[in-house]
Structures are given as C-alpha cells and as structure tokens.
Amino acid sequence: MLDLKLVRENPEIVRQNIRNKFQDHKLPLVDQVLELDVRHRAAITEADGLRASRNTLSKQIGALMAQGKKAEAEAVKSQVNANAERLAALEELEDDLNGQIKDIMMVIPNIIAPSVPIGKDDSENVEVQRYGEPVVPDFEIPYHTEIMERLAGIDLDSARKVAGNGFYYLMGDVARLHSAVISYARDFMIDRGFTYCIPPFMIRSQVVTGVMSFAEMDAMMYKVEGEDLFLIGTSEHSMIGKFIDSMLDEADLPYTLTSYSPCFRKEKGAHGVEERGVYRIHQFEKQEMIVVCRPEDSPAWYDRLWGNTVDFFRTLDIPVRTLECCSGDLADLKVKSVDVEAWSPRQRKYFEVGSCSNLGDAQARRLQIRVRGEGGKYFAHTLNNTCVAPPRMLIAFLENNLRADGTVRIPAALRPYMGGKEMIG
C-alpha cells in the first residue's frame, strides 16, 4: 500500500506506474482517492475547529452563568449542542471516508523499481544470468512421474481417489529424497546465518490482506469454513504476520528468518492443475527465507536472497538461471522480483523453482510494522524468497541426476540426509 502523501503530491508518478503495469483500468482510482482525501481532510479540519470552540464556549457558559446572564448562557448551550451534533456527524464521515480511501489504496499497485523491465506478462521477463552448464544426455529422459513410478515413489491414482487432482502420495526413496531436500535446505540456510522457524499454518484475514493483494488471495487461499482462518499458501504469510502491529528497534534489524511449512494453494486460473505431474499442485512443502530490514538495506538483501537459492541448487548439480520479472508480471505489492529457474533436460528448457521479491514497505504499511530509529519512526522493508519447494524441485533433481540405467545419483551434499546413499533405484 502506498503512502497517501505520495499519491497526493505526485499523482502522475502513480498514474505512470499503473500504466507501466498495464493496469489502465485502475487509473480512475487515483482521482477518486484524491477527491476523497480532500473531503476527508476538510472534515478533519472542521471537526478540529469544533473541538477547539467547544472549550471556548464552555468557558463562556460558566462566565455568563456567574454574571447571572442565564438566557445568554442557554443560547450558548444551544450552540454547543448543535456543534456536538455536527461533530458527531463529521466523525462518522471521517471514518467512512477513511475506509473508502483505504479500500482504494489497497488496490493501487506499489511503485516498481526503476530497473524493472517494462512488459505485459511473463513472456516478456528478461534472463539475467545462467549458472552451470545445461546438459542434454544421450539417452531419453522420461516424464518426471514415470521416473518416480519406476522408483516405486509416487501414487497419483490413489491420491486422486482420496483428494482429487493436484495431490499425491510420495513413497520409499522418493519420499525420503523429498524430506532430505527439505532438511538440507534448513541446514543450508541456518549455516548462512538465518534463524530457523516453524510458523502457524493458518492465518487470520487481517494478515492475509496485509501480505498480498485481493486478486492473489482469491486465486490462492483456502478458507476454513465458519472461522476467520485461511490455510497459508507460503510461510511468508505467517512469517511476515509475526511482526504485525510491532514497533521494532532499529538496532535489532535485520531479522533474517528461514521457515519450513506445508503450503496449500487453489491454483485457480488459466494454468489449472496437471493430472499426471507434480509441477502445479494443491499441496506441497517449502523452505522459505524472510528478511525485515531498513529501507536502505533491502536492495542488498534482495541480491543475497536470490543468490542463496542459486547456490543451493548448484550444490545439487542442477543448472539454473535467474529471470527478472517484468512490470506486468509483478504482483501489486512487489517493487522488484526475480525468478530462479532450473534446467529440464527432458524439456530442454528452464522452469520456475523459486521466486525472490522485494516488497518495499507495502506489507509493513498494511500490517503496521514500524521501526524506531535515531532519526524517528518509519516503516520496515520486507523481502521473501524460496530456498526450495519440493516436489517441484524433485522434477529438476531427478531429471538432472538420472543415469542411463534408470538409477538416480545422489550429490555429495545430500548424502548425509539419505543415510549415506550415493544413488537410488
């Protein structure tokens, strides 16, 4: 959510940002919020004047009564009562206008960073850099579920009967591999100085609307029937929510946290849910990174976060690339975002396995996460990044470590979490 002062003083910057995100239908919102702001400030000014006059008139009543001027005192009392009625109406108007302003401000997108490439959708995202040499072996790479099935590691048919499409049973060495990757990611992030955390897997609506846009919420979140609770789509939601209504000491920044959680997503939209695969599913697990920091530090943390994911995948011998998200592909709260994509030898292309985002102070404004520093109080900046999210990551792992004989090599970094095994199959 933007600072209303920014919209008031630089409306054209806000309008151009909306155009850059190809959301022209939101352009009228700028004029609407400015008009509401004028009315809101006028109501506040009038109300403040009435509160000030109330004290003056009360003193006048006392003085008139002391002088025996009862009729004049009663006239002033009538004025006080009329002012009180007007003040009550103004206070109600203030609340109403403030609510309307907030509703609009929650929809106006955050100002993107100047370095973000301008483009309509993810087809115009820009490759930044590649890490590791993508290899296509001289033998055929089966579809990832076929690899898992040959390892007796997945049962989609039973999961479909139990829960429907978008769910799975992982078993045997594939299930162990899944858990090993998560455990390795946890220790990898702890070794990089992050504090390990297991958060709540459900959050209240106040937190949901604080960490994401309404469009994202509708497309992603599962609501618990009859309760003000939603299943998290990523642990970023509850991890940022941890700081709601907080006044943080600047000396304690940054907060660097790595969190494990299951994730639940509707995956509502054009992509749908694969019946055969585990790339886009309703339930998965993830190791996440969260940073709460000073505004001036967030660009450096942004680079460190996505760098952690690249390093993690490279320790597992998986080639990756970074892809800068263009303006039209950025969610409304994001200032800047980069996807980390892994190489798929079967498809001979890269596919997304993680995303790193700098949200500026957008989440902090919505959740009232403030910092007390030497120069005064200000809103913190928040960032998040995926370290790893199996089973999607397992697709890249199995394809890049598959051998011609059908066995799967276990890289050295992962062997301690697989009981010392050097291969499965």
Q: What pLDDT, in 10s, does the model give residues 223-268?
A: 999 999 999 999 999 999 999 999 999 999 999 999 999 999 997 6
**pLDDT for the residue numbered 269:** 54
Phi-psi bin for 336: left (phi > 0), alpha (psi -120 to 50), beta? Answer: beta
- DSSP assignments along 359-414, one per residue: -TTHHHHHHTEEEEETTEEEEPEEEEEEEE-TTHHHHHHHHHHB-TTS-EE--GGG
Q: Are 55 and 22 in contact (CB under 8 A)?
A: no
State the average pLDDT over residues 88-100: 96
Same domain, 313 and 350: yes
> For residues 158 and 296, what is the distance between their CA atoms, to the nearest angstrom?
51
Q: In what order do the strands lie in the sheet with 336-344?
A: 126-131, 320-324, 336-344, 349-358, 381-388, 283-293, 255-264, 195-197
CA 318, CA 295: separation in Å to the nearest integer? Answer: 33
Which among 392, 336, 339 is positioned nearest to 127, based on CA atoms?
339
Domain's final residue, options 74, 105, 136:
105
Query: Do 163 and 88 fall within a single domain?
Result: no
Question: What's the number of domains the chain is made of?
Answer: 2
Local confidence band at 159 (pLDDT 50, 70, 90 cut-offs): very high
In this structure, is residue 332 part of a structural domain? yes
pLDDT at 80: 81
For residues 244 and 96, membership in a common domain is answered with no
Here the tokens at position 105 are 């401000």
Q: Domain check: are 198 and 98 in the same one?
A: no
Q: Is residue 111 part of a domain?
A: no
Give the range of the structural domain holding residue 33, as residue numbers without chain letter: 4-105
User: Cβ neighbours of residue 363 under 8 Å, at least 6 residues apart?
Assistant: 210, 211, 240, 333, 369, 382
- pLDDT interval class at 276 (50, 70, 90): low
Residue 216's SS3 state is: helix
pTM: 0.90
Could you report the per-residue pLDDT of 369-385, keeping only the tens digit for each? 999 999 999 999 999 99
Which whole-number Å values give the CA distances from 323 to 18, 187, 337, 348, in the listed order? Answer: 22, 26, 9, 17
Mean pLDDT of all residues belonging to the chain: 94
| Residue 270, pLDDT above cutoff 60 | no
Please state whether 164 falls in left (phi above 0), alpha (psi between -120 and 50) or beta.
left
DSSP track, 119-139: -SSGGG-EEEEEES-----SS
d(CA 258, CA 387): 9
Give 54-78 as a DSSP string.
HHHHHHHHHHHHHTT-HHHHHHHHH
**Residue 16 belongs to a domain with what CATH number?**
1.10.287.40
Share of the chain above pLDDT 70, in %: 98
316 and 270 housed in the same domain: yes
Q: Are 345 and 135 in contact (CB under 8 A)?
A: yes
* DSSP secondary structure of 225-259: TTSS-EE-SSHHHHHHHTTTTEEEEGGGPPEEEEE
Of 52, 56, 14, 17, the closest CA to residue 32 belongs to 14
Residue at 182 is within a domain? yes
Per DSSP, the three-state class of 33 is helix
pLDDT score for 275: 52
Choose one of 60, 76, 105: the last residue of a domain.
105
Q: Mind listing the pLDDT tens digit for each residue in 278-329?
A: 888 899 999 999 999 999 999 999 999 999 999 999 999 999 999 999 999 9
Whether 215 and 330 share a structural domain: yes
Among the candidates 59, 80, 105, a domain finishes at 105
Same domain, 294 and 353: yes
Q: What is the pLDDT of residues 197-225, one digit of tens each?
A: 999 999 999 999 999 987 788 888 999 99
Q: Check residue 75 and give left, alpha or beta (phi > 0: left; psi -120 to 50: alpha).
A: alpha
Residue 112 located in a structural domain = no
Q: Is residue 351 part of a domain?
A: yes
Distance set, CA 191 to CA 9, 115, 148, 196, 338 (Å): 45, 31, 31, 10, 23
What pLDDT, on a 0 to 100 scale, did the predictor assign at position 274?
A: 53
Residue range 113-135: mean pLDDT, rounded:
97
Residues 20 and 164 in one domain: no
Cis bond upstream, residue 137 (ω within 30): no
Residue 20 to residue 115: CA distance in whole angstroms: 12
Mean pLDDT of 355-365: 97
Domain holding 352: CATH number? Answer: 3.30.930.10
Inform me whether the pLDDT recorded for 271 exceeds 60.
Answer: no
- Residue 414 domain-assigned? yes
At 334-351, the pLDDT tens digits run 999 999 999 999 999 999
99 and 126 inside one domain: no
Residue 128 and residue 83 in one domain: no
For residue 114, being part of any structural domain is answered with: no
Whether 290 is in a domain gets the answer: yes
The answer on 57 and 172 residing in a single domain is no
Please check whether residues 236 and 335 belong to one and the same domain. yes
Collapsing DSSP to helix, strand or coil, 264 comes out as strand
